Amino acid sequence: MISYRWGEEELKKWSPLKKASYLLIPFLVYMVVNDMAEVILWALTEHFLGGAGEEAVVFASHYGATIRGMISGVAILLGVAAVWTAVKNEINVPGGVKGDAVTAYAFLAAFAFCISISVNIFFFQTGFSQSSVAYENVYEAQYGVEFLIGLVLYGVISPIAEEAIFRGLIYNRMKRCFGWIPALIFSSLLFGAYHENVVQAVYGMLLGLMIAYSYELYGNFAAPVLFHAIANISVYAITYRNNLGQMDRRIALAIGAITFLAAISIAVYIKNKLLPKEK
């Protein structure tokens, strides 16, 4: 029952408890497998280092953040693998942009870049990002990862895995159970709660709303993955080694304002010029 893609007519007959199980059990399986995999991988790593030579221990100490990131990335992939049958049944549905798809997705990538940059500049310049000690700890862990490894982790693995769960699985099922607006809101709230601190939770919720809406507009799983990947890569690149902190405040605010206005303009163009009116 959990892996099958039930249609709207069948779902209308289900009780609220059965619908909740259909929505949340795969997510819980993903979380449990993810967490267990991370614990096991850490145990194996520590066991290996315990029997390794001094050079291996020094290497692990120097690249500790990178090793943590890689373990987390593998654990996420294993979590998705545990529910992949359900995910595949949800995302393998015909649909997508009609007409010039390359242009439509290029503009979506541009929107993701501009809106993610502007929101992060706003968070940083208002002091919201620095208000959370938990965020600072996560920031140090994420940006301690070697840059190229970080691009793969946050620009490839994280977008594919998280979109498979939150949009591919939860959003699609929620949409068939209760409609696309409740699905958009609920999946975004859950995506925000999935993050480790208040700053990331708020950003995740805002990003989730835009990603889910892009999924609804474009009608293809490639849209949320592309949006998420571009947003992550953009933010990771501009905030790596505290680049925002070293930027002049007036310049940062000017860039934030320009990218925000550009994002609004791109969104209007996408909605009115590139996509079918019925969407």
* Cα 198 to Cα 220: distance, rounded to the nearest angstrom: 30
Half-sphere exposure of 116 (CA within 13 A, CB side): 25
pLDDT at 240: 78
Which of 104-108, 125-129, 190-194 has the weakest average pLDDT? 125-129
What value does the mean pLDDT of the chain take? 88
Which residue carries 């545990």 as its tokens? 82
Q: What is the DSSP string of 132-190?
A: -HHHHHHHHHHHTS-HHHHHHIIIIIHHHHHHIIIIIIIIHHHHHHH-HHHHHHHHHHH
Q: Which of the pair, 146 or 58, is modelled with greater confidence? A: 146
Nearest to residue 71, comparing CAs of 112, 106, 114, 38? Answer: 38
Residue 22 makes CB contacts below 8 A (sequence gap 6+) with 1, 2, 6, 11, 14, 173, 177
Q: What is the mean pLDDT of residues 124-147?
A: 70
Taken in order 69, 31, 170, 138, the sign of the CA dihedral is negative
E strand or H helix at 101, and its extent?
helix 101-125
Task: Tell me the HSE value of 259 on the side-chain side, using a 13 A CA sphere.
Answer: 22
Measured in degrees and rounded to the nearest 5, phi and psi for residue 36 equal -65, -40
Q: Are 102 and 247 in contact (CB under 8 A)?
A: no
Quick: pLDDT tens for 50-63.
Answer: 777 777 777 778 88
> Can you tell me which residue has the tokens 């920031």?
139
- What per-residue confidence (pLDDT) applies to 279? 41
User: What confidence tier does 191 reach under pLDDT thresholds 50, 70, 90?
Assistant: very high
Using pLDDT thresholds of 50, 70 and 90, give the confidence band for residue 198.
Answer: confident
Q: What's the whole-number mean pLDDT along residues 139-147?
A: 74
Domain range summary for the chain, segments of one domain joined by +: 8-274
Residue 241 pLDDT class (50, 70, 90 cuts) = low
Retrieve residue 224's tokens. 């949320």
- Which DSSP state fits 130? G
CA–CA gap between residue 179 and residue 107 (Å, rounded) = 27
| pTM for this predicted structure | 0.91
Q: What is the pLDDT of residues 67-101, one digit of tens each?
A: 889 999 999 999 999 999 999 999 988 777 877 88
**pLDDT above 90: residue 232:** yes
SS3 content of the chain, % helix, strand, coil (to 5): 80, 0, 20
SS3 63: coil
- When pLDDT is cut at 50, 70 and 90, the band that residue 248 belongs to is confident
* Mean pLDDT of the 262-272 span: 93
Q: What is the pLDDT of residues 96-119, one digit of tens each?
A: 787 788 999 999 999 999 999 999
Instruction: For residue 47, give both structure tokens.
Output: 């066991």
Residues of the chain with pLDDT > 70: what percent?
91
Residues 214-225: what's their mean pLDDT?
93
pLDDT score at 245: 61
Mean pLDDT value across residues 164-177: 95
Question: Hey, what are 126's tokens?
Answer: 């208002």
C-beta neighbour count of 208 within 10 angstroms? 27
Q: What is the pLDDT of residue 46?
A: 85
Q: What percent of the chain has pLDDT over 90?
A: 60
Q: Count other C-beta atoms under 10 Å from residue 15's C-beta.
A: 8
